[in-house]
A and B are shown apart, each in its own frame.
Chain A
Amino acid sequence: MTDTPAAARPRPATGLLDRARRSPVLWAVAALGVLLLFNAVANPGFFSLRIQDGHLFGNLVNVVKNVAPVLLIAVGMTLVIATRGIDLSVGAVLAISGSVAFTIVEGAADPSSGATAALAIGVAVAAGLVLGAWNGFLVSVVGIQPIIATLVLMTAGRGIAMLVTDGNIVTAENPVFDWLGGGFLLGLPVQVVITALVLLAVGVFTRRTALGVLIEAVGVNPAAARLAGVRARSITFTVYVFVALVAAVAGLMVTANVSAADANRAGLFIELDAILAVVIGGTSLAGGRYSLTGTVVGALILQTLTTTVLTMGLPDEYIRLFKAVVIIMVFLLQAPRVRAALRRRRRPGAAAPAGTAGSPATPGPVPPEPVRPPVPVPGTVPGRSAEQGVLR
């Protein structure tokens, strides 16, 4: 045990490398890199940015702007998935939020006033909170499986949205919504700024406080988390409220983009895109571990794919096929068994230098495995694999 501090020092470097290689985020980043490289070769104008009237324009800006609603929802979805849940109703919540907002604006005495917009946004967001609370209640209090609990609202939600709009596509003009749809803040599209702020806030709240760990604890084992003193029920409830809230905000964005609320088609399949973004980013649907960075990369991959297909002049119809193929490839690369097989093939080369670097002083039959930070644990390290399993 005396030589462990010395031996532990080179360990973090290999551990980090090992972790990076094993990290699913890396694959996602690599995929995004390949995509961007492909674009750089196939379409040299892809990366050009220009500043006009103090606003940034270019393909990349378009990608980032178009990804905003999906990414916003995906951030909320990441937290839900981290608790081993899923929310299928975000598309419906998005449609309801947009429908509510535009119905209010259209029916107001003064449709173009700021007060009307404030009221519309307030009511739409409140509607999102109520719907989220409903989902959260079903999942955390009643104890229904998340897929099914949210399936209820997914099925009924579009009906509710059509009830709100009376089956029509509601169009309205309001300067606040115009600004939300096409305005700029600090030279960037408003939607991008909003999304970035939400992302930042979530990142700070979950990674700089214990909240993130608590969420992961709930995802690993809700019962154990509860016994350890984590308020699993309130955390689960809160993440569903949060994802509905961001879905409502995304609904305002999507509706403002086209200045029309379409109860039937607004946000159709956006729940799938959001889930895909989360999964491509390396967050496991089994819960317990999440990566916000991965989610951002995943959402960017999806949107870059669409933009790539469009800028290459391929017909619109091929986007889905193209997307499907890329997504399947990413899934396959992330599959534990495939990754294990890839690692095994690489292991003979990688393991040898790590072994020699890790224990130069002990050439005996001691394996390089039991090297760990000096924790005051009596005896040897019998619980290593179990501990790893929990931390993982």
Chain B
Amino acid sequence: MTVSDTRPPEAPDRPATPAAASRPGWQGAVRRWLRSTSTGSSTVSVLMTGVLLVVLFGAGSVRYENFGYPQVALNLLVDNAYLIVLAVGMTFVILTGGIDLSSGAVVALGTVMAASLLQAGWPAPLVIAAVLATGSLLGWLMGLAIHGLQLQPFIVTLAGMFLARGICFAISGPSIPIQDDLFTAVAINVVELPGGTFLSYGAVLALVVVALAAYVLHRTRFGRTVYAIGGSESSAALMGLAVGRTKVGVYVISGFCSALGGLLFSVYILSGWSLHGIGLELDAIAAVVIGGTLLVGGRGLVVGSLLGVLVLGTIKALIDFDGGLNSWWTKITIGVLLLVFVVLQRLTSRRAGTAS
């Protein structure tokens, strides 16, 4: 609220607005509508990702005969639930201009902790609480180091990644199977949807997390501060916003989301292993970038990250359906896609920079 309220109410002599708005036809209407939305140009990026997703999925449906079913689309959510949660946490961090490299390792820590504690006979709810608390604690410590000691997020979360993987290995090197009733029940049972389709509980939870995150980012003081810090940390501090609390909070959220992602992953795969989720943080970052969030912070939508994950999932599904392509094409395609989006980001932000 502080961000938008302090702005003067739409100065009439802004040079760019009338020219763009007075453009005839549908383009002008679209531009006016985009300006009227509170998220502005972020909406364009998210729409682009959405179009890409539809095009990719449409291409798959045309090319492969079993691709165009609703359940295939829903499976994108089911198979990538943990990545969605991870990307949500990453979105918070990237919006402040930071980065969290520890999330993949925290996912592994979550699976290992869950598996080993369940093996030791702890009740499942207690295990879940313990895992979530550990992830949040790790995020809190990293946030404190980043804000309190003014270390770079990149390097702090890198150390956090080493620490989390180290703890994983110290707990257990080999993979541990999960046989707990609650975990297997969540893994096996599904939510029936009309039309004979279904979603897993994990996917539903992931969607809930996305909705919650969107609420927090756009309807709370904390969320506004996140955007303000990403825009300019010193300005945010000068405006009297709680920069420190918010920065630490963002890493706590990311740690919590990573731990939750770890739980979802352990439900998905029903085992705990210290080598789970290697490179997962990169997938999450890629999803956030493809979803239109600026890496310098300050601009982006959590819905975009959801779409970004789905784009990644569609590419994987396409390559699976083809059968003739090898799995390494996934990596190359994701890399190329990342490149395209980063260059686009760069071009659009450069244009915006010269215009203002």
Contacts and interface: CB of A to CB of B under 8 A. Distances in A.
Interface of A: 86, 138, 142-145, 147-149, 151-160, 162-163, 167, 272, 275-276, 279, 285-286, 317-318, 320-325, 327-328, 331-332, 335-338
A142 B344 CA distance: 10
Given A156-B336, A276-B158, A323 B166 contact: yes
B170 A155 contact: no
A337 B149 contact: yes
A167 to B, nearest CB: 6
B285 interface: yes
Contact of A320 (B166, B282, B285, B332): B166
Contacts of B170: 317-318, 321
Given A144-B343, A156-B335, A335-B150, A328 B163 contact: yes
A279 B162 CA distance: 15
B88 to A, nearest CB: 20
18 contacts: A86-B154, A148-B342, A151-B286, A155-B282, A159-B328, A159-B330, A167-B328, A285-B154, A317-B170, A318-B169, A320-B166, A321-B163, A321-B167, A321-B169, A323-B162, A325-B166, A332-B145, A335-B149
Nearest to A88: B282
A155 B170 CA distance: 28
B166 A321 contact: yes
Interface of B: 99, 145, 148-152, 154-156, 158-159, 161-163, 165-167, 169-170, 173, 282, 285-286, 289, 295-296, 326, 328-332, 334-336, 338-339, 342-343, 346, 350
Contact of B338 (A152, A321, A324): A152
A155 B329 contact: no
A141 to B, nearest CB: 11
B289 A148 contact: yes
Contacts of B152: 285-286
Given A156-B336, A167-B328, A144 B173 contact: no
A332 B282 contact: no
B160 to A, nearest CB: 8
Nearest to A145: B295
Given A148-B342, A163-B332, A321-B167, 13 more contacts: A144-B343, A145-B296, A147-B154, A151-B285, A151-B286, A275-B155, A318-B169, A323-B166, A324-B159, A324-B163, A325-B163, A327-B159, A327-B162
A155 B343 CA distance: 16
A320 B173 CA distance: 12
A279 B163 contact: no
Given A143-B346, A317-B169, A321-B166, A285 B155 contact: yes
Contacts of B328: 158-159, 162-163, 167
Instruction: Identify which of A144, A152, A163, A286 gathers the most chain B CB atoms within 10 Å of its CB.
Output: A152
B173 A331 contact: no
B150 to A, nearest CB: 6
A337 B159 CA distance: 18
A180 B330 CA distance: 34
Given A145-B295, A285-B152, A275 B338 contact: no
Contacts of A324: 159, 162-163, 165-166
Given A151-B285, A155-B282, A322-B166, A142 B346 contact: yes
B326 A162 contact: yes
B330 to A, nearest CB: 7
Contact of B148 (A156, A321, A337): A337
A184 B23 CA distance: 73
B159 A152 contact: no
B156 A331 contact: yes
B155 A331 contact: yes
Contacts of A143: 346, 350
Given A142-B343, A285-B152, A155 B286 contact: yes
B326 A331 contact: no
**Shortest 8 CB-CB distances between A and B: which pairs?**
A156-B335, A321-B166, A159-B331, A317-B169, A324-B162, A320-B166, A162-B328, A159-B332
Contacts of B169: 317-318, 320-321
B94 to A, nearest CB: 11
Contact of B162 (A138, A320, A332): A320
B150 A336 contact: yes
B288 to A, nearest CB: 11
B338 A151 contact: yes
Contacts of A338: 149
A156 B332 contact: yes
A335 B151 CA distance: 6
A145 B350 CA distance: 13
A58 to B, nearest CB: 28
